[in-house]
Structure 1
């Protein structure tokens, strides 16, 4: 990740990622961000409502807009935290930390959480491995903390 936009008031959390020299912009609707106090379902509905407009504006300089609306997305179990399988469990920002960590493993570890498949530094591996800890208390406690640890690990490499 080269950028995390987690202080949005839209209910969307966004990530700038890069792999093999190609940059990607990932946007999750309905995430509890720093400044969003609304209903996650409203954020999702607003994101879906932009699809027709975005399609009308299609241009080679615009990023591709893909929407997943299949209930539980194929492969989503790879991104779900242990608490998402527990009825009545707390689902919150710490849950989203897990999802971001799992996404990083998908992008930079070939969907594998072993160090030998990880394409970035050992320090970044440690940050992401912490994010996908089965123990909620062992994870970063916010997206902001995850981002800060990620940025610190990058600075240590320089």
Structure 2
């Protein structure tokens, strides 16, 4: 179906069936972009609010072509996500949910977030599907990997900081991967979005599990063991390999930081949960010590 955009053009939304989007016009100003290639069942819009500010509207209730499930299941999940955001915000590195909006006309549901100016998703699969994600010079992930290692380590610190907060509040970071990371290359600012599937510890992984195989722990893939703090530790290690190393190729030759940080990341992604750090705080303590030691050595040689 067609949707009128702010610049006067129209955009086709990839749906399995027609849907009523008049509620967008009645609650917000013009739409300036649409994201309709998500497998969660949500469709997201960039809109102007009544104050002329840009907002990000995440909506469940329609049936995107990329979604194999039932729209009502997507609505149920998005409603449940309200509690997750309320429990985990505010945090400086989280894109904050501003409000929840039941849509009476359609039986749908929407969450409203501020628009992160200049923020680019590191897994923009709708524009740069692999291998373009890894090779195209305009791909956000490719550009991020060209940044100096120290700058990427600083970005990792933001991710780790938020997930230490998540871990301390007894949540598991389900479905976190590089598609949850927005990066502003102008200000070198990072924000985390899309924490809808985070769950209270302990919990069972969905079948099949939500998330990218590049970030999934063995216990999520097996579906047998309950997820807990050590699952979060695995996720942080996998993220480190995703931004500093070779993703699933966790060899030393692909790792761009120090040997000690490599050892810490390897322990974080140990196959057996008992061999990992007990929680994100313990992982971060080791990580920070390793970085401080490296900084001290660097200063002593100057």
Show structure 1 runs of 5+ residues with no match: 1-8, 42-59
Which residue number in structure 1 is paired with residue 234 of structure 2? 98
Contact 1:11 1:40 in 2 (8 A): no
Q: CA deviation at 1:138?
A: 0.7
Q: CA deviation at 1:135?
A: 1.1
Relative to structure 1, the CA distance from residue 68 to residue 142 in structure 2 (aligned partners, 3 Å threshold; closer, same or farther) is closer
Q: CA deviation at 1:77?
A: 1.0
Which residue number in structure 2 is paired with residue 107 of structure 1? 243
Relative to structure 1, the CA distance from residue 65 to residue 151 in structure 2 (aligned partners, 3 Å threshold; closer, same or farther) is closer
Higher RCO, 1 or 2 (CA under 8 Å, sep at least 6)? 1
Which residue number in structure 1 is paired with residue 210 of structure 2? 72
Larger strand percent:
2
The CA distance in 1 between the partners of 2:172 and 2:235, in whole Å, is 19
Which residue number in structure 2 is paired with residue 55 of structure 1? none
Cα RMSD between the aligned structures? 3.8
User: 1:43-58 residue pairs with structure 2 within 5 A?
Assistant: none
The CA distance in 2 between the partners of 1:33 and 1:14, in whole Å, is 16
Kindly name which structure, 1 or 2, has the bigger radius of gyration based on alpha carbons.
2
Show structure 2 runs of 5+ residues with no match: 1-85, 94-144, 175-185, 198-208, 297-302
Q: TM-score, with normalisation over the residues of structure 2?
A: 0.35
Which residue number in structure 2 is paired with residue 138 of structure 1? 275
Relative to structure 1, the CA distance from residue 26 to residue 150 in structure 2 (aligned partners, 3 Å threshold; closer, same or farther) is closer
Relative to structure 1, the CA distance from residue 38 to residue 77 in structure 2 (aligned partners, 3 Å threshold; closer, same or farther) is closer
3-state SS of paired residue (2:167): coil
Relative to structure 1, the CA distance from residue 89 to residue 100 in structure 2 (aligned partners, 3 Å threshold; closer, same or farther) is same
Contact 1:32 1:93 in 2 (8 A): no
Which residue number in structure 1 is paired with residue 291 of structure 2? 154
1:22-59: per-residue Cα shift (whole Å, max 9, x none)? Answer: 66454878x8421x268989xxxxxxxxxxxxxxxxxx
Contact 2:244 2:255 in 1 (8 A): yes
Q: Which moved more, 1:78-87 or 1:137-146?
A: 78-87
Which residue number in structure 2 is paired with residue 11 of structure 1? 88
Q: Given the alignment of the two structures, is residue 122 of structure 1 paired with residue 259 of structure 2, yes or no?
A: yes
Which residue number in structure 1 is paired with residue 133 of structure 2? none
Q: Among residues 76, 80, 85, which one is paired with 2:221 in the alignment? A: 85
Length, aligned pairs only? 126
The CA distance in 2 between the partners of 1:39 and 1:79, in whole Å, is 13
